[in-house]
Structure 1
Amino acid sequence: MAKPPANHGKQWTPAEVKQLKQLAQENTPTRVIGLKLGRTEDAVRAKAGENNISLKPTNQSPYNRRKP
């Protein structure tokens, strides 16, 4: 079984939420955000959902809009 992350079970601090927002805006992958914050990928997704933070990449074209 994998070792739990450093912040497993701890409350999120306002500084961590702020860092989550910034990393999400920089299109950082969810797994990497989790590693940087010492959280699981599921915890990152849950906190992003609670705070209306979009984890979707912002610099990619939709599938049907690519120019040849």
Structure 2
Amino acid sequence: MAKELDLIEEFRDLSLVCEVTPRSVKLGMLKLTNSFLEKVKECQKRDRKLSEKLVLIDEGKEDDF
């Protein structure tokens, strides 16, 4: 039982929603992110050529991406 309690404490340290019931432990709201993908998204927002291409696609003047 001590091992299980240690595991629960480790999950609490991860800031997860943790609900302990007499028969189970429920964890929720787990969100995994990739900082590289977040950086790519931010750079894409500032990319002038990409923005111009997206405008042409929206206007129907370009259909290939």
Give your verdict on TM over 0.5.
Answer: no
More helix by percentage: 2
More strand by percentage: 2
TM-score by length of 2: 0.30
Task: Report which structure shows greater RCO (CA 8 Å, sep ≥6).
Answer: 1
TM-score by length of 1: 0.28
